[in-house]
Structure 1
Amino acid sequence: MVLIVRLTILGCCGSIPGPDAAASGYLVEAEGFRLGLDFGNGILARLQTVCDPFELDALVLSHLHPDHCADFSALTVLRRYHPDPPYDPRRRRLPVHAPSEAPARLANAYAPHEAERRDTDLSDVFEFHALSREARTVGPFTVTPVPVVHPTESFGVRITHGDTTLAYTGDTGPCAALDELADGADVLLCEASWTDAPDRPADLHLSGTQAGELAERANVGRLLLTHVPPWSDGEAILAEAGAAFHGPTERVRQGAVYDL
């Protein structure tokens, strides 16, 4: 039997949402299990074009910048207050694998006023699991977090199902951990936020050239570029990556579906 992993690009705009373009969010599916990967601005709307959000089985948040988790508050509202959910969400908490500060920071985002927040910690509808270097089983997937460099606690993740591995960088500057993350992956879903230049800020994002060089070193099967901000030249970033990596390379588009 062929085991298929499906990757759906819910949103791929970097740093902020763009015109009719959601920020970072992806859906990874296998054996009927739906794993969300980041949940930035506009992702809940995009998810509803693919499936009922109550059908999401687990969620991984690479880090807690708004373009990767802003719609978590909207997801909280849905799971708490939908008048006719397919099940009682308080009896089925959604597993959320996220940086250690996620329970407190996401509760603050949902209820910024102390009086409102006093009676909520989101644990009625979510089950939080702190990311670490430890691999974990999430449905049919093995999820291996890899710490990367960014201004906040951030992780790339390797998602493996059978013989198929998807590596996702999240947001990161160049670092040695990326080689471990991407090593031999069938698909590298890699952020590429700008063109290459010597004066780019350190420990923040990758250029197209750096994404391509990573894919080449790691001998990945396919390079998918994501997280291109509205102000960046996506075609120039793609050209840089293609010049550095000799395998299939493309810039993902919102709504694209890949069977890995």
Structure 2
Amino acid sequence: MVVGCAGSFPGPDAAASGYLVQAEGPDERTGATRTWTVLMDLGNGALGPLQRLADPTALDAIAVSHLHSDHVADLVVLNVLRRYRPGGPCPPVAVHAPEGAAERLALMAGKDPATEVSGQFAFRTWEPGVPVVVGPLTFVPVAVEHPVPAFGFRVTGPSDHDAARTVTLAYTGDTDECPGLTELADGVDLLLAEAAYLEGRDDGLRGVHLTGRRAGLAAAAGGAGRLVLTHIPAWNDPEETLAEARAAYAGPLDLARTGDVHVL
């Protein structure tokens, strides 16, 4: 589910990056089947739509791709919501993130005691290739190319159409072409790929973001079943990005939009 999909800063119609992954599975504590919910990133402005789409106090885990503000800024205010809700503080939720996440959020929060983050978040550092299991979902972090330490995720879980079948979503986070992108795209059912740059205009800016064409090439080479483009800045024409991707990838293709649910 798309919570926010604007690139690099909130746009007029979308918050910055935020996504929900949900799956049905048994709860070991109760034995009952329930919906498990993992939040991937929560950038500037994304806490607003998150409250419309899910319960921010009932997250099972948070997966952070990297520590740029457009992917983590609203974790600071998510902490406030969870800490000061009328029913009392929530139990800490696991936050899987690159090294230094606790320090980065503390710097963003400043010295206001109301935004101190250690009580609500239990930080865990990603190890490339080491799976993290959350209920029926398995996250495998894959190192990608960006100016700061960054990860994409391969997320495997039961199909909503057939619980006996396993499906895989890959989320690139922010990256340029790299071996990690190839690994992420390989054989996935859905590739959620950033496409912040445009061919021709941004050719001199490498090691930061994908174009629609480069996202499409990765999806085609990996045999991805579906490609969804995200992280498109407000100054880009999304139709140009779509056209770039369509020239490289012949499969089902769409833009990420707030509130969209992609069922696998």
Q: TM-score, normalised by structure 2?
A: 0.89
Map 1:97-116 → 2, pairs under 5 A = 97-110=96-109, 112-113=110-111
What is the identity, as a one-letter code, of the residue corresponding to 1:130?
Answer: T
What is the identity, as a one-letter code, of the residue corresponding to 1:97?
Answer: H
Cα distance in 1 between the residues matched to 2:115 and 2:55: 25
Residue 151 of structure 1 aligns to a residue in which SS? coil
Q: Does 1:247 align with 2:246?
A: no
Alpha-carbon offset, residue 83 of structure 1: 2.2
Decide whether the 8 Å contact of 1:103 with 1:121 is kept in 2. no
Residue 133 of structure 2 aligns to a residue in which SS? strand
Gaps of 5+ in 1: 1-7
Cα distance in 2 between the residues matched to 1:241 and 1:214: 10
Map 1:1-260 → 2, pairs under 5 A = 8-31=1-24, 32-85=35-88, 88-89=89-90, 92-110=91-109, 112-113=110-111, 122-133=117-128, 134-162=130-158, 163-197=166-200, 199-260=203-264
Alpha-carbon offset, residue 120 of structure 1: 8.5
Q: TM-score, normalised by structure 1?
A: 0.90
What is the identity, as a one-letter code, of the residue corresponding to 2:224?
Answer: V
What is the count of residue pairs matched by the alignment? 245
Range 74-83 or range 211-220, more displaced: 74-83
Residue 107 of structure 1 aligns to a residue in which SS? helix
Q: Percent identity?
A: 49
Across the aligned residues of Structure 1 and Structure 2, the Cα RMSD in angstroms comes to 1.6
What is the identity, as a one-letter code, of the residue corresponding to 2:127?
Answer: S
Residue 208 of structure 2 aligns to a residue in which SS? coil
Alpha-carbon offset, residue 52 of structure 1: 2.0
What is the identity, as a one-letter code, of the residue corresponding to 2:237?
Answer: D
Decide whether the 8 Å contact of 1:194 with 1:233 is kept in 2. no
**Regions of 4+ moved over 6 Å:** none
What is the identity, as a one-letter code, of the residue corresponding to 2:138?
Answer: T
Alpha-carbon offset, residue 79 of structure 1: 1.6
What is the identity, as a one-letter code, of the residue corresponding to 1:192?
Answer: A
Q: What CA deviation, in whole Å up to 9, does each residue of 1:199-220 have, x standing for no partner?
A: 3311000001100000000000
Decide whether the 8 Å contact of 2:76 with 2:115 is kept in 1. no
Decide whether the 8 Å contact of 1:104 with 1:121 is kept in 2. no
Residue 53 of structure 2 aligns to a residue in which SS? coil
Decide whether the 8 Å contact of 2:92 with 2:119 is kept in 1. yes
